[in-house]
Amino acid sequence: MSATVIRGKVYVLGDNIDTDQIIPAQYLNLVPTIPDEYEKLGSYALCGVMDAPPFVPKGEMKTPYAIIVAGRNFGCGSSREHAPIAIGAAGGKAVVAESYARIFFRNCVATGELYPMETPVRLVDEFVIGDEAEIDLDANTLTNLRTGARLSLNPLGDARPVIDAGGLFEYARRNGMIASNLEPDVREAVPVNRVVED
């Protein structure tokens, strides 16, 4: 995904939203690289969250919410890549949280499914579910279009070009780290330190 501005409805969550809430384990029988199972994962995104309206409405495959605003330690728990993939497959574009669990953040970048934005301050009280908001990835701002409040975000830094490229492999290919044709001699991959790391 490549974007400079992400605009859409906001879904609001609290602290420590773990991977079992993002995609409950019973749906891990779905394989993300199989196209119809990728779509199906999206339909279950965040269905494990308690006491909140559904992220994906019942009977639908896509979410009306492009942006998730959350608290601390978003995506803690399992290493399942199904988690950022489910949100991305549902049509989520970005998460704005105070902090992330390490593997979830890395999986967002490696897959290019989601922009995992960090905020220097707690934002969950500045939004209600359904607000319209706009993220400007160049200006590093999040604007609540209902209240007009303009909030600053931490720059994504080295992670952004990887997500812009569509994930780790496409980024590595564009930057000559692996050959652009298939069957590359990747064993001679040139290590470059610009790739984002956790």
Partner 1 sequence: MAMTMTEKILARASGKAGVRPGDNVWANVDTLMTHDVCGPGTIGIFKREFGANAKVWDRDKVVIIPDHYIFTADDKCHRNVDILRQFVQEQNLPHYYDVGSPRYKGVCHIALAQEGHCRPGEVLFGTDSHTCTAGAFNQFATGIGNTDAAFILGTGKLLVKVPPTMRFVFDGEFPSYLMAKDVILHLIGEIGVDGGTYKAMEFGGEAIQRLSMEERMTLCNMVIEGGGKNGIIEADDVTFDYVRARTGKDFEPVKPDADAGHVFFKRWDARTIEPTVAKPHSPDKRATARELRDVKLTRAYIGSCTGGKLTDFVSAAQVMRGQKVAVKTFLVPATTEISQGIRTEKLDGKTLLSIFEEAGCTISMDASCAACLGGPADTFGRINGPEVCISTTNRNFPGRMGAKEGQVYLASPYTVAASAIRGTITDPREFLQ
Which region, judged by CB under 8 A, interacts with partner 1, from 5-13, 58-66, 125-133, 163-171? 163-171
At 98, list the tokens: 């105070």
Task: Residue count of the chain, please give it.
Answer: 198
Least distance to partner 1, CB of residue 28, Å: 5
Quick one: 102 or 146, whose CB is closer to partner 1? Answer: 102
The letter for the amino acid at 136 is D
Burial class (CB within 10 angstroms; exposed 0-12, middle 13-18, buried 19+) of 46: buried
Tokens 């993220």, residue located: 135
Q: Determine what percent of the chain falls in helix, strand and coil, rounding each to the nearest 5.
A: 30, 20, 55
CB 139 to partner 1: min, Å: 27
Q: Which stretch binds partner 1 (CB under 8 A): 56-64, 89-97, 138-146, 178-186?
A: 178-186
Residues 7, 9, 72, 174: which binds partner 1 (CB under 8 A)?
Answer: 72
Letters for 20-49 (x = contact with partner 1 by CB under 8 A, - = none) are: xx--xxx-xxxxxxx-------------xx
Q: Which amino acid is at 76?
A: C
CB of 42 to partner 1, least distance (A): 15
Q: Which of residues 79-108 bind partner 1 (CB under 8 A)?
A: 79-82, 99, 101-103, 106-107
Among 7, 16, 54, 136, binds partner 1 (CB under 8 A): 16
Work out the widest C-alpha separation in the chain, in whole angstroms.
Answer: 53
| 75 Cβ contact partners less than 8 Å away, ≥ 6 residues apart | 17, 18, 19, 22, 83, 84, 100, 101, 103, 104, 105, 107, 108
Distance in Å, CB of 147 to partner 1, minimum: 29
In terms of CB distance, is 20 or 132 closer to partner 1? 20
CA distance 196 to 36: 30
Give bridge partners of residue 181 from the DSSP assignment: none
Q: Which chain residues interact with partner 1 by CB under 8 A?
A: 16, 18, 20-21, 24-26, 28-34, 48-50, 72-73, 76-82, 99, 101-103, 106-107, 110-111, 167-169, 172, 178, 182-184, 186-187, 189, 191, 193, 195, 197-198
